[in-house]
């Protein structure tokens, strides 16, 4: 069975993360397939709205840490730009409303993907974390860009530095979400929300989406370039190696600040 599923239900394109045995953690090939799915939805004139959802108990555990390879700074920069940034751009630049339908944990890259969407509908068991620092990493894939715009500097800093989990009710209060529903009602609530946009003026909404994007300074592209320049250096640190090793050994990381 495909790890990224794409299907059209009338004017709704549904893109599903389907790797529940790994909590839908994204390996490199999955990111390419996911990006291709968004490109396909964007190019299909019959599609009026896109839903990003996931199978299993977890929306997305972020990047697949077990697949992270040690690279030099140039290789790390190229990998981030090719596998991470192109995916986030594909979601963010889709010229139709994109709805993330979230259950369980939504962390790291998974959080960035949800925030790159136009709307987030969350189950009451959803929880969110900008988890990068637990692996000895600075945030990437636009996490700081999106969090700052959603929450403001103070709350965004708190969530990035602490990596703490935010429950669905708290995330709703913070302004991260559009709806919180019972877990059993998530699929139907998401579909009902999506149906509202199947008869909307799709091109007018696409242009409004561009306006929202242009109202933000710096742009996402400028911010992602900053990530691509800073994250490769973090990959060379002792703390990054410790963070990844601790994750694989299922223990708490012991960071030394080096």
What integer pLDDT is reported at residue 204 of this predicted model? 96
163 Rama sector, left if φ>0, alpha if ψ -120 to 50, beta otherwise = left
74 pLDDT above the threshold of 80: no
DSSP string, 48-70: -EEEEEESSS-SB--B-GGG---
Indicate if the pLDDT at residue 240 is higher than 90. Answer: no
pLDDT by residue (tens digit) across 82-97?
A: 788 999 999 999 999 9
**What pLDDT score does 68 carry?**
63
Kindly list the domain boundaries of the chain, sorted by start residue.
4-183
Confidence of residue 69 (pLDDT cuts 50, 70, 90): low
Tens-digit pLDDT profile for residues 116-147: 999 999 999 999 999 999 989 899 999 999 99
Closest residue by Cα to residue 68 from 132, 152, 160, 2 = 132
pLDDT at residue 22 above 90?
A: yes
pTM of this prediction exceeds 0.75: yes
Give CA–CA dist 177/165, Å, rounded: 15
Distance (Å, whole) CA 64 – CA 217: 31
Q: What is the mean pLDDT of the chain?
A: 92
pLDDT of residue 249: 87
Distances (CA, A) of 250 to 37, 57, 66, 127: 33, 20, 12, 20
Residue 67, pLDDT above cutoff 70:
no
- How crowded is the C-beta side of 212, counted as CA atoms within 13 Å? 16
Above 80 in pLDDT, residue 110?
yes
**What does the pLDDT average to over 7-28?**
96
Confidence of residue 105 (pLDDT cuts 50, 70, 90): very high
Select from 125, 172, 179, 180 the least CA-distant residue to 150: 172
- The structure tokens listed for 36 are 């291709």
Domain 4-183 has CATH 3.40.50.300: no
- Does residue 3 register a pLDDT over 90? yes
182, pLDDT greater than 70 = yes
């Amino acid at each position: 069975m495909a790890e990224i599923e794409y299907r059209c239900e009338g004017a709704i394109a549904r893109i599903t993360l389907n790797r529940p045995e790994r909590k839908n953690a994204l390996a490199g090939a999955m990111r390419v397939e996911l990006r291709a799915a968004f490109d396909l939805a964007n190019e299909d004139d019959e599609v009026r709205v896109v839903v990003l959802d996931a199978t299993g108990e977890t929306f997305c555990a972020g990047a697949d840490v077990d697949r992270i390879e040690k690279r030099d700074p140039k290789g790390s920069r190229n990998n981030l730009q090719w596998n991470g940034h192109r995916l986030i751009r594909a979601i963010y630049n889709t010229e139709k409303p994109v709805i993330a339908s979230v259950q369980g944990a939504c962390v790291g890259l998974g959080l960035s993907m949800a925030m790159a969407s136009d709307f987030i509908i969350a189950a009451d068991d959803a929880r969110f974390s900008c988890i990068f620092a637990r692996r000895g990493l600075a945030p990437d894939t636009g996490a700081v860009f999106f969090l700052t715009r959603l929450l403001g500097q103070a709350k965004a800093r708190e969530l990035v530095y602490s990596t703490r989990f935010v429950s669905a009710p708290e995330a709703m209060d913070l302004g991260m979400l559009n709806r919180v529903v019972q877990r059993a009602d998530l699929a139907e609530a998401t579909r009902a929300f999506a149906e509202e946009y199947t008869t909307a003026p799709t091109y007018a909404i696409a242009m409004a989406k561009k306006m929202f994007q242009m109202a933000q300074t710096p742009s996402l592209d400028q911010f992602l370039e900053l990530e691509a320049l800073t994250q490769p250096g973090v990959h060379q640190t002792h703390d990054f190696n410790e963070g990844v090793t601790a994750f694989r050994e299922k223990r708490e990381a012991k960071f030394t600040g080096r």
